[in-house]
Structure 1
Amino acid sequence: MKYNFIPITHRKPLRWPNGKRLAIILTTNLEYWDPVRDTAKPFYPGGPSIVGGDLPGNVYDNANYTWREYGQRVGVWRMFDVFDAEGVQTSCTMNAKMALERRPAVDAALERGWEIVAHNYVQSELLTDYMFDEAAEREIIRKTLDIYEEVCGRKAKGWLSSSLRSTLNTIDILAEEGLIFVTDLLNDDQPYLVETRSGRPMVSISYTSEVNDFSFLRQGLSAESGLQMFREQFDWLYAESATSGRFMNIGLHPHVIGQAYRIRALRDFIRYAKQFDDVWFATREEIAEWYLQNHSSHI
């Protein structure tokens, strides 16, 4: 995996299709955590906890497990109601075990024709556990992709690693498995090509840890201040996109933004962004396929 360092000021203008100037990706993370893991080491379930203190993996953490499960039982349905009411699509990332253990949410996304992005086997297992064992990492990726194909009825096109913890081999493996985009790299507001050892091109479409509902927890944001964060990001990127297109991703987790006292921030942001005719509510696959055909006019 290799990518060139080309600052945004050294690129040609990016022109999205159909005269659009800012692409918005609303990412809903469909994630599953095992209640326990066979280890005495602290259990890393992914993302901040609502009740602090690390327990060993083989000790059940009721408070944090059931808080996250709220997103699967209640929060995600509140989010889907908002997306339906506002007439916009969301790009769903999916752990393989989410499909195995919490199938209704996955089926609801598929019924709506929304994008599903492979998101590792289970949220509580990181690819960095296999930093020095490429064969084991490939096995996890293949197991994830097999379940994805079985559940979604098609092969996966893109990938997000659990907690963004990928290795130096991950993108090369993904390219060799036939994927065309990755969202692990947090370093841009535009797509770019990543070189791989197989020679198969991979499009980077950055996720974000900044414009993310975890900021509601880390920074103590309310619905109003969270909405302000979303709008600030949008307004600045929209202004910049007058000369060269940008994308804006929002990372969303049903157990966080799906809480009743936060959901208004998502709804009101969507209503705000919909006022702009040249905004594109895009999927990552749409962006990746377009960029594969048009990257030479950009970088």
Structure 2
Amino acid sequence: MRYDFVPMPHRKPLRWPNGARIAMLLTTNFEYWDPTKDTDKPFYPGGPSIITDMLPGNVYDNPNWTWREYGQRVGVWRMFETFERAGVPTSCTMNAKMGLERRAVVQHAIDKGWEIVAHNYVQTDLLTNYQFDIDGERNVIRETLRVYKDVVGKPARGWLSCSLRSTPNTADILAEEGLIFFTDLLNDDQPYLIHTESGKPMVSIPYTSEVNDFTVFLRQGKDVNGGFGVFKEQFDELYREGATSGRLMNIGLHPHVIGQPFRIRALRDFVDYARTFPDVWWTTREEIAEWYLANHESHI
């Protein structure tokens, strides 16, 4: 994987379709965690824990398991109600085990026509475990894409690694497998092209670790009003900048975090706020990637 360093002042203005100032992505992460792992060492579970004392992987961690499962049983349905009431789409990411173990959640998104992005095989197996094993990483990606196609009914077009922990080989493997966008990189407010070993173009559609419910609520300790304030400040500045060159805004959302009753209002109020603005493109990553592949030369 290689990409060019092109600072914002060296680019031409980005002109989104229909004159939009900002492309808006609300990312709902469909994630499944195995209850245990075959190791007696502490292991990184692929996301923050509600109780941070680490247990051996082969010991069932009840509070963390059931806290995360709350998002699948309850929290995600609150989020769905928010999107449906407002009439806006969500871009969903799905690890393979979620598609196998929690089909009802995934099927709801399929029925609504929402985007689903491949998101590793399971949260507890990071691609960085295969940093020095490219064939092992390729096998994990291929198995993820196989399950994705079986569950969703069509091939995946893009990828988000769990915890964003990809390797220098990930984008190259994804391009070989026919995907067109990669969402792990945190380094921009606009899409750009990634150069891959195969020569097949890949669009970076940046994610965010800051405008993300994990960071806002769990790491920074914001309450519901503070969370809304972060979302609003990000939107207001990007919307202002988008008057001269279009910007992309993503909010990373996890059903067991934002889907809690005392937090959901932050999402609901933000969606209601953003919907009052003209020139907002409520879109999908696939739409952005396809548009950018056809129009990148007018930008960078």
What SS class does the counterpart of residue 148 from structure 1 fall into? helix
After TM superposition, the score normalised by the length of structure 2 is 0.99
After TM superposition, the score normalised by the length of structure 1 is 0.99
What SS class does the counterpart of residue 251 from structure 2 fall into? strand
What SS class does the counterpart of residue 110 from structure 2 fall into? helix
Counterpart of 1:278 in structure 2 is 279
What SS class does the counterpart of residue 79 from structure 2 fall into? helix
The yes-or-no answer on 1:94 pairing with 2:97 is no
Q: Distance in 2 between matches of 1:162 and 1:65?
A: 17
Structure 1 residue 41, shift from structure 2 partner: 1.5
1:36-115 correspondence to structure 2 within 5 Å:
36-115=36-115
The yes-or-no answer on 1:236 pairing with 2:237 is yes
Structure 1 residue 20, shift from structure 2 partner: 0.8
What SS class does the counterpart of residue 166 from structure 2 fall into? coil
Q: Distance in 2 between matches of 1:203 and 1:219?
A: 31
Superimposed CA distance per residue, residues 223-269 of structure 1 (whole angstroms, 9 cap, x where no aligned partner): 10100000000001111011000000000000000000000000100
Structure 1 residue 117, shift from structure 2 partner: 0.1
Q: Distance in 1 between matches of 2:244 and 2:186?
A: 22
Structure 1 residue 220, shift from structure 2 partner: 1.0
Superimposed CA distance per residue, residues 74-125 of structure 1 (whole angstroms, 9 cap, x where no aligned partner): 0000100110001000000000000000110000000000000000000111
Q: Distance in 2 between matches of 1:66 and 1:43?
A: 18
The yes-or-no answer on 1:133 pairing with 2:133 is yes
Structure 1 residue 213, shift from structure 2 partner: 0.3
Counterpart of 1:251 in structure 2 is 252
The yes-or-no answer on 1:221 pairing with 2:249 is no
The yes-or-no answer on 1:143 pairing with 2:143 is yes
Structure 1 residue 43, shift from structure 2 partner: 2.1
Q: What amino acid is aligned across from residue 105 of structure 1 in structure 2?
A: V
Counterpart of 1:269 in structure 2 is 270
1:145-184 correspondence to structure 2 within 5 Å:
145-184=145-184
What SS class does the counterpart of residue 249 from structure 2 fall into? strand
Structure 1 residue 178, shift from structure 2 partner: 0.1
Q: Distance in 1 between matches of 2:54 and 2:98?
A: 23
Q: Distance in 1 between matches of 2:11 and 2:206?
A: 17
What SS class does the counterpart of residue 28 from structure 1 fall into? strand
Percent sequence identity over aligned pairs: 72
What SS class does the counterpart of residue 260 from structure 2 fall into? coil
Q: Distance in 2 between matches of 1:195 and 1:100?
A: 33
4+ long deviations beyond 6 Å:
none
Q: What amino acid is aligned across from residue 51 of structure 2 in structure 1?
A: V
Structure 1 residue 219, shift from structure 2 partner: 1.1
Q: What amino acid is aligned across from residue 71 of structure 2 in structure 1?
A: G
Q: Distance in 2 between matches of 1:150 and 1:92?
A: 17
Q: Distance in 1 between matches of 2:126 and 2:95?
A: 12
Counterpart of 2:290 in structure 1 is 289
Q: What amino acid is aligned across from residue 110 of structure 1 in structure 2?
A: I
User: How large is the Cα RMSD of the aligned pairs?
Assistant: 0.5
Q: Distance in 2 between matches of 1:102 and 1:4?
A: 40
Q: What amino acid is aligned across from residue 231 of structure 2 in structure 1?
A: F
Q: What amino acid is aligned across from residue 208 of structure 1 in structure 2?
A: T
Q: Distance in 2 between matches of 1:10 and 1:42?
A: 46
How many residue pairs get aligned? The number is: 299
Structure 1 residue 276, shift from structure 2 partner: 0.9
The yes-or-no answer on 1:32 pairing with 2:32 is yes
